[in-house]
Amino acid sequence: MSTETETRAMHDTLLLFGATGDLAQRYLFPSLLRLLADGLLPDDFRVRALALSPHDTAAFHDVLRPRLQQSWPHGRQDDINALLARIDYRSVDLRDADSVAAAVSDLVDRQCVSYLAIPPGLYISTCQGLAKGGALAAPHRLMLEKPIGSDSHSADEILNAIGALIDEDRVFRLDHYLGKAAVQNLLALRFGNTLLEAVWNRNYIESVHILVAESEGVDGRDAYYSRSGALRDMVQSHILQLLCLVAMEPPASLEADRIRDEKVKVLRSLRPLDARNAAQHSIRGRYTAGQIDGQPAQAYQPPEGSEAETFVGVTAHIDNWRWSGVPFHLVTGKRLPERTTKVVVTLKPVTHWLFERPTRQQAAPNRLTFQLQPQENIELGLMSSLAGPEWGALELQPLELELSVPTGLHRRIAYERLFLDAFNGNSALFVRHDEVRAAWAWIDSVCHAWKEAGMTMAPYPAGSWGPREARDFLPDDIHPIHHAGDQA
């Protein structure tokens, strides 16, 4: 096993596989540029960019420079030149372990982090090549993009193969949502405030909604998406990670494995979906032609035989002491009216209602809403006489208390934070192997339930909030606006 000193040393070399891909060009290289400009990388930091394209280093710089300029409109050209000077390029066949080994072996005297921004089907052969070239021996580290496989079987195959080549404490599996400041703030709000922790259980909470809505379509990801769909792409990773942060028990400390231990307990407590209640507790849909912001949007037409859904709603139940009986409604979809991520916690009504108006049945419940994107926001919905006429002491009106994060606050994008943590050996915001296994076990139960129950794909127009039946899964404030069921 690697020593604590090795684990905490800041690494100085990045081996970036998939360097010509959209993820690397749009997010990874611009993140490195900002870190370098802010003086947060070692003076001798360098990057080896690796991909199949037959570029040389100069040709790769010509491809990368305009992407960096686009992401750095107000930055200094000198910073772009400084990053490019640290990048060289190698063409490599990731299916050939010898090709990978030859492309990295000259750098293994440095402290390397290998980042695999490539399809998971190439993970094993690439890691075998890295091991053959000496780039997985201690103290070198490995960063893996999600998804890790497409089901429990393929995930186990990848985890076991890579686990035989490198120690777990030097593997950093990314879910970039965990690098978002707003997501990390869920932990701060939960465990840093007596008011929230006092009511954070089944005695006071009626339900929890987790919504990740995208206005974009499948565009540009057809090959991947036709094999995965919304359940495997978004629920298995981002949404289950948010569920864990909302539902986990307080960890003993903020040390990486203490946090991840509690997340695994939540995932293992998820009740498998059963075919007998699949239609009641889940929905899947696919968008048809429609409009978004007044612009026409085409229908999603996957390859023949694809079962990929673009909308999914699942009601999850966590069978443990804290959450027994509390439904967690998980929803994600593409081509919805807006891009938003929110967690809505609805509290139970007061036990004895004293007021004339509204009636107990008409009173708006207390809700705590964590808005994570496009901007960070916290809203608390209460009932108050302050919102009504001054003489209406017995008449209550909803009152929204809002805490907005200052717009001028500088927040690093997720990949910047995750790069720094991996270079420094801090694994708290990365996913452990047993988290991956536990998440896939529950996702497999949903897939099997759908198959056994013969769940059909419900259509919904692009620009709507999903199929008509999605009403039961969405937060209440979503229903009245742009809903497919309201257009009939």
pLDDT of residue 462: 93
Name which residue leads in pLDDT, 390 or 180.
180
pLDDT, average across residues 425-450 = 95
pLDDT tens per residue, range 3-47:
333 445 699 999 999 999 989 999 999 999 999 999 999 999 999
pLDDT of residue 99: 97
pLDDT of residue 212: 95
Please check whether residues 333 and 285 belong to one and the same domain: yes
Structure confidence at residue 343 as a pLDDT band (50, 70, 90): very high
Name which residue leads in pLDDT, 29 or 478.
29
Please check whether residues 203 and 304 belong to one and the same domain: yes
Please check whether residues 191 and 170 belong to one and the same domain: no
Structure confidence at residue 353 as a pLDDT band (50, 70, 90): low
Please check whether residues 169 and 187 belong to one and the same domain: no
pLDDT, average across residues 427-441 = 94
Share of the chain above pLDDT 90, in %: 64
pLDDT of residue 390: 58
pLDDT of residue 182: 80
pLDDT tens per residue, range 249-285:
999 988 889 999 999 999 999 999 999 999 999 999 9
pLDDT of residue 409: 53
End-to-end CA distance of the chain: 62
Supply 200's token pair. 């954070």
Inter-residue contact 132 to 98 (CB < 8 Å): yes
Q: Does residue 139 carry a pLDDT above 50?
A: yes
pLDDT of residue 410: 57
pLDDT of residue 225: 80
Inter-residue contact 287 to 166 (CB < 8 Å): no
Please check whether residues 92 and 240 belong to one and the same domain: no
Q: Please, where are the H alpha helices in 350-472?
A: 414-424, 433-453
pLDDT, average across residues 213-223 = 81
Q: Does residue 364 carry a pLDDT above 80?
A: no
pLDDT of residue 386: 59
Residue 160 CB-half CA count within 13 A: 6
Residues known to be catalytic: 238
Please check whether residues 215 and 69 belong to one and the same domain: no
Please check whether residues 165 and 199 belong to one and the same domain: no
Structure confidence at residue 405 as a pLDDT band (50, 70, 90): low
Q: DSSP of 312-366, one letter per residue?
A: EEEEEEB-STTTTT-EEEEEEESS-SS-EEEEEEEEPPPSS---SBS-GGGSPPP
Q: How far apart are CA 291 and CA 70, in angstroms?
A: 28
Compute the radius of gyration of the chain from its Cα atoms.
Answer: 24
Q: How far is CA 260 from the centre of its chain?
A: 16
Q: Does residue 391 carry a pLDDT above 60?
A: no
pLDDT of residue 186: 86
Please check whether residues 97 and 159 belong to one and the same domain: yes
Weakest mean pLDDT among 6-15, 58-67, 224-233, 448-457? 6-15
Mean pLDDT for the chain overall: 88
pLDDT, average across residues 316-325 = 96
Q: Does residue 2 carry a pLDDT above 80?
A: no
Weakest mean pLDDT among 313-322, 327-336, 394-403? 394-403
Please check whether residues 353 and 254 belong to one and the same domain: yes
Give the end of a domain, one of 123, 144, 174: 174
pLDDT tens per residue, range 276-298:
999 999 999 999 999 888 889 89
Q: How far is CA 293 from CA 6, 119, 238, 464, 466, in A?
A: 52, 33, 26, 11, 16
Please check whether residues 262 and 404 belong to one and the same domain: yes
Structure confidence at residue 393 as a pLDDT band (50, 70, 90): low
What is the amino acid identity at position 96?
A: D
pLDDT, average across residues 118-146 = 95
Please check whether residues 28 and 97 belong to one and the same domain: yes
* Partners of 299 in beta bridges: none
What lies within 8 Å, CB to CB, of 269 at 6+ separation is 318, 319, 320, 323
pLDDT of residue 365: 78
Q: How far apart are CA 360 and CA 126, in angstroms?
A: 61
Number of domains observed in the structure of the chain: 2
Give the end of a domain, one of 174, 193, 222: 174
What is the pTM for the complete model shown?
0.89
Q: Read off φ and ψ for residue 69, nearest 5 degrees.
A: -65, -40
- Residue 186 belongs to domain with CATH number: 3.30.360.10
pLDDT of residue 362: 65
Give CB contacts under 8 A, 24+ apart, made by 377-380.
377/402, 377/403, 377/404, 377/405, 378/189, 378/402, 378/403, 379/403
> Alpha-carbon dihedral of residues 150, 153, 154, 155, nearest 10 degrees?
80
pLDDT tens per residue, range 80-99:
999 999 999 999 999 999 99
Q: Please state the length of the chain.
A: 488
Please check whether residues 218 and 166 belong to one and the same domain: no
Q: How far apart are CA 418 and CA 429, in angstroms?
A: 7
Q: How far apart are CA 331 and CA 280, in angstroms?
A: 14
- Residue 75 belongs to domain with CATH number: 3.40.50.720
The domain of 441 spans: 178-486
Give the end of a domain, one of 174, 200, 234: 174
What is the amino acid identity at position 351?
A: T
Q: Does residue 333 carry a pLDDT above 60?
A: yes
Q: Does residue 450 carry a pLDDT above 90?
A: yes
